[in-house]
Amino acid sequence: MSNQEIQDLRKKIDDIDGKLVDLLNERARIVIDIGHIKKTEKLDLHVPSREQEILARLTARNKGPFPQETLRAVYREILSSSLSLERPLKVAYLGPRATFTHMAGMQQFGLAAQYVPVESIKDVFNEVERGRADYGVVPIENSSSGAVIYTLDMFIDSELKISAEILLEVSQHLMNKSGKIGDVKKIYTIAPAAAQCRQWLEKNLPGVPVLDAPSTARAAEMAADDTTAGAIASEMAAVLYGLQIAGKKIEDSTSNITRFLVIAPKYPARTGRDKTSIMFSIKDKVGALYTMLAPFAESGINLNRLDARPSGRKVWDYVFFLDMEGHVEDEKVAVAIERLRHDCMFLKVLGSYPKSE
């Protein structure tokens, strides 16, 4: 290909880029008009189902060669920026910056949202309950280390709902000031991250104490102030806190996925590809477990997850957390839940929300 042919093709790209900018601004003006109508009519600012509809329609239309995941990422930022023209969303998360919870929030809400770092999962719930944040992002389970118990416990007394789920591929890195493993005399991280890297730590740093930190990003921050300390955290945290990677991708599983929940005052309308989460406590009787699961089996509802936690109210009293396919507005889901309710001391629908891609 001659240099002139390259220049001609680049000119076409420049023309397309110019048209894209003009179209994005035209789109933004329409978004602003919609925002004025929402404000006048006192309608919800953020409609997650509309975003899901846009992403589904565009990915179905995309025949390539532009990558599908990249298209979703590009439109995530377009949607985030468009919403910020009306008012930036406030999203509370387990901070400080560069935690995996922060990264999950950015994956869900884009860079234009306003992120509010807090000290604990309880604080995330508090920010949303008090109306200081539109949404909160909390971890719920990891494919290697299991459920995040504290998040489950928060739902027992909170009236907040699950409005979305986020699946984030997690890579753990050992980092310190020098980038040398031999300089690490102690390690800061959170318990789930340490559990995800147990085999690597036993092989490469046997006997080195692993100390608890409030979050992986806070662990990196602590290691930045101590030349003898290392941290297990994200690559983003290493960059943010000026650390060097001493061990890259040290998680034991090659498929290390963490699931996060988005919490809000209410859950979205059905999309046709939803999940529903409930919590309940059953009466202690013979065949209680069978009674609990039978309504879903008989209705042909697929169950995704079941956890049990002590209620904290009396000995041997448990609260169950159940995820199922479908939306609470689906007839068979609603009927199965009502059948279960008859055999429960209490039952709460935590939310129905779109399944994460």
Residues 276, 236 share a domain:
no
Position 118 in a domain: yes
Residues 110, 77 share a domain:
no
CA torsion sign, 248 to 254 to 256 to 257? positive
Enzyme catalytic residues: 258, 260
Position 252 in a domain: no
- Amino acid sitting at position 214: P
What is the reported pLDDT for 221?
Answer: 94
Residues 100, 81 share a domain:
no
Tokens of 2: 């001659």
Closest CA to 282 of 329, 339, 341: 341
Beta strands of the chain (E only): which ranges? 90-94, 114-118, 135-142, 146-147, 161-169, 173-176, 186-189, 210-212, 229-233, 244-247, 257-264, 274-282, 303-310, 318-325, 344-354
Residues 146, 72 share a domain:
no
Residues in the chain: 357
Entry pTM: 0.82
Residues 338, 284 share a domain:
yes
Position 179 in a domain: yes
Domain boundary among 37, 62, 86: 86
Residues 80, 17 share a domain:
yes
Tokens of 146: 């299991």
Residues 39, 110 share a domain:
no
Distance of CA 119 to the CA centre of its chain: 17
CA angle, 309 then 212 then 214, to 5°: 75
Residues 72, 20 share a domain:
yes
Residues 281, 206 share a domain:
no
Total structural domains within the chain = 4
Residues 288, 214 share a domain:
no
Residues 98, 59 share a domain:
no
Tokens of 105: 């929030």
Position 197 in a domain: yes
CATH of the domain at 38: 1.20.59.10
CA torsion sign, 30 to 31 to 34 to 39? negative
Domain, as residue range, for 285 = 269-354
The greatest distance separating any two alpha carbons of the chain, rounded to the nearest whole angstrom, comes to 82
Domain boundary among 86, 108, 141: 86
CATH of the domain at 336: 3.30.70.260
CATH of the domain at 139: 3.40.190.10
Residue whose entry in the numeric block shows the structure tokens 């309940």: 280
Domain boundary among 86, 113, 142: 86
Query: Tens-digit pLDDT profile for the chain (357 aa)?
Result: 688 889 999 999 999 999 999 999 999 999 999 988 988 888 888 888 788 889 889 999 999 999 998 998 999 899 989 888 888 899 999 888 889 999 999 999 999 999 999 989 999 999 999 999 999 999 998 877 677 888 988 998 899 999 999 999 889 999 999 999 999 999 999 998 999 999 999 999 999 999 999 889 999 999 999 999 999 999 999 999 999 999 999 999 878 889 999 999 999 988 889 999 999 988 767 777 788 889 999 999 999 988 887 765 654 467 889 999 999 999 999 999 999 988 888 899 999 999 886
What is the reported pLDDT for 127?
Answer: 97
Position 107 in a domain: yes
Closest CA to 174 of 156, 196, 155: 196
Residues 108, 69 share a domain:
no
What is the reported pLDDT for 314?
Answer: 58
